[in-house]
Structure 1
Amino acid sequence: MKMMKYSLGHEPKTFGDWAYLAIATHFNKILHHETEVIQDKDPEELHQMRVGMRRLRSAILGFSPALNLPQAATEKQVGKVAKILGQLRDIDVLQDILKNQYQPTLPHQEQKYLDLALTTLAKQRKKVFKKVKKLLNEATYIQLKQSFDHWLNNPTYQDIAKIAIADVLPDLLLPQVSRLMLHPGWLVGISFTEGDIEFPDGLSTKEVETLLNNQGLMLHDLRKEGKRSRYNMELFTQFYGDVYHHYLKDIKQLQSVLGDIQDSFVLMEFLDSVFEDKIEQKVSVFSSKLVENRYQKWHEWEILQRKFLNSQSRKELHLTILNPIVVESELETNHNDKKGMNEAVAL
């Protein structure tokens, strides 16, 4: 497909206009990085294309009541591509963490062991990259792009797309934010006394490790819910003020902290497979550093946990979403400089 730039062509005012703008923005991002991904010279290109895919999927889900997309351009089809790109990206992340974050800090012998792990990762990456390259040349992916191209040139919508965006913003944002706020992952490590939340104080490293081993997957799922919420909220930053942006920053931090904890466990699992469950014998200093890192990230998580379980904070977030700032002159300014959508595609 010939590279082109899709744009709305007029001031976005309706539900449908903003749906178009979101899909066009993220589809443009995907096309912009696609060629470089196939050339495989810079892992950042893969990262950016994957981000574009995930945000496109989020936009399709968030704007689904307004959209009438072709069958080949569904969020499910986009998700399949994002998943395969994600497999390659996960390997790149592990390589970067091992090589640049941990290996230089380890004793010489453990550095040599990590060289073995990095060699194994490089072999895995070669296989997965072939899979990615094949995918991006397959008919299914080409049809996906053609379907979005056709829709962006000839968009069709549901009737509700004609409604002003300000009238539906809370309805668009609150369902996803509510899923985030009701996620059971927030309750990891806490207890209740007659309905009041009791937060643990001064947990030891061993106690934190036990919690993470038992309920780490729940925190990982909370991270994914946070990511979906962040993507949705970033679509509409120009309609809200400082309070909204502060919560968005906190959700981004939540995603980062829980992501670091999850990456640590993925590293352990990978190295266990490389060293046949003898990781602590062969790289004991490295193992200790992983535990130390998780303990530090746990303390960062506790701060966010307390904030998002605070009744006043929860009420403030909901009230903020219920009251978007809709001033015509501000919308024109934000549209002209594309501030909001630039934030939406930022990392």
Structure 2
Amino acid sequence: MAKAKDIPDLNYNASVQEGAQRVLLFRFDEMINLREAALDFSDIEGVHNMRVASRRLRSALADFASYFRRRELNSSRKKLKTLASALGEVRDADVAIQALDKLASRADADVAEGVGRLIDERKREREDARAKLVKAIDRDDCQNLRAEFVMSLEKAIAKRNSVQENDLRGAHTNGTSFHDAGRGLIEERYLQLRKLSASLFRPHDSEALHDMRIEAKRLRYTLELFAAAWNDSLLSFADEVSQMQTLLGELHDCDVWIDALGTRLKKQHARSERQPDNGLINRWQQNRNASIWLLQHFVRARTKNYQGALALWHEWEKLDFKNSLTTQLCQ
């Protein structure tokens, strides 16, 4: 996974608003500075890195939402979501093509031919996605978005700080240090992850498992963000959470493939009942064989990743991951 840059001169003893502003502006620039690399389609890692940077930025925005006047940032948030979606479409196609290429190299010639046609389909979809991305991260649009983001963030902080002194919530947040806010955010993220862990006991609940993956990602980002405040002792916890994120991410990818291949096979079955011309029968059979072979692969891979996630969570329970994290945060 792409590693975030360290944020220089981040004062953990400053107010939470001051620290959050520093983080958000740095993360925004970190994302925008990856624009050129993302548009270099000869290296698919460029899109991946910019997408991850956009996720870190949006995760930080969610972390600090209660310390700002949230609605002042609504417009910027929507635009960032659109940008992230454009990056995601290209990245998803890149990953799909990469996975299919690898699988085709292991398949029999007949199946590989069918997989090759599926790769060609994904490449056409990627070209469309890339064209959308070029528009989504236009240089002028990105510069305008940054100007809007900076202005909206300043306004959101100013309005949040203008809360009357008798507003207990406002008084509390204004007096919170960035360090103490980090402790609270990490604890909150972990409790949410723990709540969602019940999905591990429902192996076929794809949506709930996906929600758990997203929460694991957010916890990891928050741990990494505040690691320096605890002399990097939180990085070992971040590594553990990263493992869970990876397993659940791979599981989710398998679910997407299983759904797509199931739909594809259903359509192929419907076409078979129309008795295709003899000249197309061989091609049709190759496509069907490839779809079934791929479906079998992704069902097995899903089971392996599910078992890995369940085993990792069980290990955390035995080692009392929660208590270890809480103890570390109290130091």
Fold-level similarity (TM above 0.5): yes
User: Is the contact made by 2:39 and 2:46 (CA closer than 8 Å) also made in structure 1?
Assistant: no
- Matched pairs, number: 293
Q: 1:220 aligns with which of 210, 219, 229?
A: 210
How far the C-alpha of 1:256 sits from its partner, in A, is 0.5
For 2:301, the aligned partner's letter is N
Q: Paired residue for 1:266?
A: 256
- State the alpha-carbon separation in 2 of the partners of residues 273 and 138 from structure 1: 39
Contact 1:88 1:125 in 2 (8 A): yes
Distance 1:263 1:47 in 2: 16
Is the Cα–Cα contact under 8 Å of residues 223 and 258 in structure 1 kept in the other structure? yes
CA displacement 1:273-304 (0-9 Å, x = unmatched): 55535676445443333233223223311222
Confirm or deny: 8 A CA contact 1:257 1:301 kept in the other structure: yes
- Of the structure 1 ranges 139-148 and 228-237, higher mean CA displacement relative to structure 2 is found in 139-148
> Are positions 1:22 and 2:23 aligned together?
yes
Q: Is the 8 A contact 1:91 1:121 kept in 2?
A: yes
Return the alpha-carbon distance in structure 1 between the equivalents of residues 74 and 8 of structure 2.
22
Measured on the aligned residues, the alpha-carbon RMSD in Å equals 3.2
1:166 equivalent to 2:179? Answer yes
CA 1:316–1:39 in 2, change beyond 3 Å: closer, same or farther?
Answer: closer
Partner of 1:306: 314
Pick closer, same or farther for the CA change 1:314–1:36 going to 2, 3 Å: closer
CA distance in 2, matches of 1:243, 1:81: 34
- Quick one: distance in 2 between partners of 1:11 and 1:170? 15
Kindly indicate whether the alpha-carbon contact (under 8 Å) linking 2:196 and 2:212 is maintained by their aligned counterparts in 1.
Answer: yes
Question: Against the structure 1 CA distance between its residues 138 and 296, is the aligned structure 2 distance closer, same or farther, given a 3 Å change threshold?
Answer: same
Q: Deviations over 1:51-75 (max 9, x none)?
A: 1111111111212344468546643
Deviation of 1:143 (Å): 3.5
TM-score (norm 2): 0.76
Q: Which residue of 2 aligns with 1:37?
A: 38
Q: TM-score normalised to the size of structure 1?
A: 0.73
Residues in 1 aligned to 2:289 and 2:23: alpha-carbon distance in whole angstroms: 50
The equivalent residue for 2:97 is 95
Matched residue, 2:297 = 289
Return the letter of the residue paired with 2:136.
L
- Paired AA for residue 149 in structure 2: F
Which residue pairs with 1:48 in the alignment?
49
Is 1:320 the equivalent of 2:328? yes
The amino acid that maps onto 2:253 is D
| Alignment of 1:245 onto 2:235 | yes
Percent sequence identity over aligned pairs: 20
Distance 2:120 2:264 in 1: 10
Unaligned runs of 5+ in 2: 1-6, 162-172, 270-286
Q: 2:223 aligns with which of 222, 225, 233?
A: 233
How far apart are residue 314 of structure 1 and its match?
2.5
- Please list, as runs of the form range in 1=range in 2, the aligned pairs for 1:196-215 lying within 5 A after superposition: 211=203, 214-215=204-205
